Structure 1
Amino acid sequence: MKKLSWFDKLIFFLNSLLAIALIVAYFLPYIPPKSYPLISVLTLGVPILIIANLVFFLYWLLRMKRQMVLSLLIMIIGFGFASKFYKWPFTGEDGAGQYSIMNYNVRMFNKSVWTEEENIPEKINAIIDEADPDILTIEEYYKNEYLEKKYPFKFIKYRSERSSFGQAIFSKFPLIGKTSLDFNVDDFTGDNNNAIFTDVIIEEDTIRLYNIHFQSLKVTEDIQEVDNFKDKQESKKVVKNISSGFVRQQNQAEKVYQSIRESAYPVIISGDFNNTAFSHTYKHVRNDRFQDAFVKKGAGFSSTYNLNYFPLRIDFHLLDTVFEINSYERIKVPYSDHYPILTTFSFKN
């Protein structure tokens, strides 16, 4: 440190702070948000922390300073974390699988007029037609007669008997036993989030399919409200609201996990987790049992949520190990605040 200029000493001080923050973030998926709700918010910043430590490493490397070892060790230790954030393009020869599943949070097909672009329902229908998935799961679903006619089998769970808003599962294969976990009946959740599941008969096999929509953290709305965190009091309020959302997600994830454990069939999970692959929510549901389709066959950052230049992957396909994941694609179209994801898979012999 003595040989460093005052500027380099400042850089290394910042480097050390962000390295420590990344180490803490490595442990957060294993810590229930109920225990430390405020610090759980740090998991949202993991992509930035990874990039920052990479930049620091390159800075010290170019200057041939031994301080590069700090960020290098941190990144080596967290190599598994980085693979959930960025994947080098897959070069295998598997091709498409026998079956396909798409997930899409459609933001009510623009029923709330969040964008002035016209004909959003028709454009979304066209994207789905082009992909032509065997199974389609939708969050923030609003009644769509075209899709309801296109797919012979469906499970649509509206928020209430008089509502046309909810979640949906569409399938080319028969569905048996349609169940809603009804998050909204519990005090700790909001009315807009839920998990539904059904058993899908694919030829001679039966699988259990979940469509999950966990509690929203409302990051975009809160950031806009406080004008990029210029107001300290409002900033504290935002962090508190987000940490409260983490706690609600934990309750919901525990309910989903218990349901998954009771399944007698192989499971596929599809949905909008409203949280990243670095969160306790993701860790608890995946539970080292499921394969993440992006981690297996994805490429690049594959952000699934449109938050300017911030890479945020919060929509997932998690498949049991009896399945072979053959391909994964994020379809970047501007018809919702989410992008659809498409996975093809096969049954292992």
Structure 2
Amino acid sequence: MKKLSGFNKMMFVFNMVLTVLTFIAYILPFLAPKLFPILSVFTLVMPLMLVLNFLFFMYWLLQTKRQMLLSGLVLLLGITFVSKCYRFSSKNLPEDKADFKLLSYNVRMFNLYEWLPDTDIPQKIKDFVKEQDADIVCLQEYTKRGNVRFSGYKHKFIFGRDRLSGQAILSKYPIIDSGHIEFPDSGNNVVFADIKKGKDTLRVYSMHLQSVKISPDIHETIDEEKSKIIFGRLSDAFKKQQQQAEIFDQHKKDCSYPMIICGDLNNSAFSYVYRSVKGKMKDAFEEAGKGFGKSYNYKYYPARIDYIFTDRRIDVKQYTTFDTFAYSDHFPVMTRLAFKEEEE
């Protein structure tokens, strides 16, 4: 520090503070939100922390200062977090007749309450789903009041309360069993369908965990009082999400089929909830995605809160985030999959 200018000394102090906060964020996915609900909010800004660490690394590198080692070490130790945040190259393996596609999309009740000025949202979503021609479609915040019928899907399971918001699983393959998981004191839930594809059977879970109740449409200035309200909502939501993830974990233990878990977790890939739901499964974005994988329409922040997790007996051959289709506050995500060939 002695050889640093006054400005660089100040920059290095900021760098050290950022390092401490980043290491705290690294630890948080392993700590239950019920224990540290306020600290859990740090996981939402992990991408920003990683970007700032990279900028500090470049700042010191260009000056050939050894202080670059601090942020360099932070990035090296958090390499798995970097891969969850950003993918530099995608995977697109050749198509095969045994492949199948799964699309997951939070449709925000087909714009039932006119959050968006476009009055033709239901038809546009219907056309989009038809164009993608996925074999399995999972829709969160589905409503029958949207009066949207998806032709081409003979098999379906739809669950909802009072014909309002619910979930739907649409399939071109036969559904041999289905059901749902209720959460206490919440309108959120999980639905599942056991789907027969040729000689294989797989279970598809579609989930919608507790919302943080912060709209991407908010543009007003956030003062201290509003900040307290937002932090309170986030911490309460994360505690509920933990409870919901634990209920879900007990349910999936009874399933012997290869599983696909998809849907809206309302939390980042750096959270305890993500780690709990994912378990030992593969994150399709990490396997084959590209870029930030932004799935929630925050204007200035690449939020990825919609996921597709796959069983290790299933290959991920392609992954796409449709981040230009602004028909909801979420963007649809889709993956092309195939069962691994059994070794003889």
What is the Cα deviation at residue 146 of structure 1? 4.6
User: 1:88 matched to which residue of 2?
Assistant: 88
Q: Which of these residues, 222, 228, 234, is aligned with residue 229 of structure 1?
A: 222
Is 2:313 the partner of 1:322?
Answer: yes
Q: Which of these residues, 156, 159, 184, is aligned with residue 158 of structure 2?
A: 156
User: 1:275 matched to which residue of 2?
Assistant: 267
- CA–CA distance in 2 between the matches of 1:112 and 1:145? 14
What is the Cα deviation at residue 83 of structure 1? 0.2
Describe the SS at the equivalent of 2:74.
Answer: helix
Please identify, of 258-267 and 142-151, the stretch whose mean Cα deviation from structure 2 is larger.
142-151
Show the 5 A alignment for 1:42-53: 42-53=42-53
- CA–CA distance in 2 between the matches of 1:14 and 1:140? 42
| Distance change (3 Å), C-alpha of 1:107 and 1:91 | closer
Show the 5 A alignment for 1:184-223: 186-187=184-185, 190-191=186-187, 193-220=188-215
CA contact (8 A) 1:180 1:197 kept: yes
Q: Which of these residues, 252, 265, 269, is aligned with residue 244 of structure 2?
A: 252
| Distance change (3 Å), C-alpha of 1:79 and 1:228 | farther
CA contact (8 A) 1:102 1:137 kept: yes
The percentage of counterpart residues that share the same residue type is 39
- CA–CA distance in 2 between the matches of 1:31 and 1:91? 32
The C-alpha deviation readout for 1:67-118, integer Å capped at 9, x for no partner, is 1110000000000000011001225644477100000001111111001013
Describe the SS at the equivalent of 1:276.
Answer: coil
What is the Cα deviation at residue 237 of structure 1? 2.2
Describe the SS at the equivalent of 2:11.
Answer: helix
Query: RMSD in angstroms over aligned alpha carbons?
Result: 1.6
What is the Cα deviation at residue 17 of structure 1? 1.0
What is the Cα deviation at residue 255 of structure 1? 0.8
Show the 5 A alignment for 1:40-79: 40-79=40-79
What is the Cα deviation at residue 179 of structure 1? 1.1
What is the Cα deviation at residue 148 of structure 1? 4.3
Describe the SS at the equivalent of 1:176.
Answer: strand
Runs of 4+ aligned residues of structure 1 deviating over 4 Å after TM superposition are: none
| Distance change (3 Å), C-alpha of 1:3 and 1:30 | same
What is the Cα deviation at residue 145 of structure 1? 4.7
- CA–CA distance in 2 between the matches of 1:268 and 1:167? 16
- CA–CA distance in 2 between the matches of 1:303 and 1:277? 11
User: 2:281 matched to which residue of 1?
Assistant: 290
- CA–CA distance in 2 between the matches of 1:91 and 1:243? 36
CA contact (8 A) 1:37 1:243 kept: yes
User: 2:126 matched to which residue of 1?
Assistant: 125
User: 2:109 matched to which residue of 1?
Assistant: 108
Q: TM-score, normalised by structure 2?
A: 0.94
- CA–CA distance in 2 between the matches of 1:220 and 1:107? 12
Q: TM-score, normalised by structure 1?
A: 0.93
Unaligned 5+ residue runs, structure 1?
none
- CA–CA distance in 1 between the matches of 2:221 and 2:256? 48
User: 1:139 matched to which residue of 2?
Assistant: 140
| Distance change (3 Å), C-alpha of 1:173 and 1:55 | same
Instruction: State the AA in 2 paired with 1:39.
Output: L
- CA–CA distance in 1 between the matches of 2:275 and 2:83? 14
CA contact (8 A) 1:95 1:327 kept: no
What is the Cα deviation at residue 138 of structure 1? 0.4
CA contact (8 A) 2:93 2:317 kept: no
Instruction: State the AA in 2 paired with 1:17.
Output: V
CA contact (8 A) 2:92 2:318 kept: no
Describe the SS at the equivalent of 1:147.
Answer: coil
What is the Cα deviation at residue 181 of structure 1? 0.6
| Number of aligned residues | 338
What is the Cα deviation at residue 123 of structure 1? 0.8
| Distance change (3 Å), C-alpha of 1:241 and 1:199 | same
- CA–CA distance in 2 between the matches of 1:247 and 1:136? 29
Describe the SS at the equivalent of 2:215.
Answer: helix
CA contact (8 A) 1:19 1:74 kept: yes
| Distance change (3 Å), C-alpha of 1:94 and 1:149 | closer
Unaligned 5+ residue runs, structure 2?
none
Instruction: State the AA in 1 paired with 2:249.
Output: Y
CA contact (8 A) 2:106 2:264 kept: yes
Describe the SS at the equivalent of 1:37.
Answer: coil
User: 1:304 matched to which residue of 2?
Assistant: 295
CA contact (8 A) 1:110 1:121 kept: yes
- CA–CA distance in 2 between the matches of 1:174 and 1:91? 29
CA contact (8 A) 1:148 1:154 kept: no
Instruction: State the AA in 2 paired with 1:205.
Output: D
The C-alpha deviation readout for 1:245-288, integer Å capped at 9, x for no partner, is 1000000000111111110211100101101110000100111x
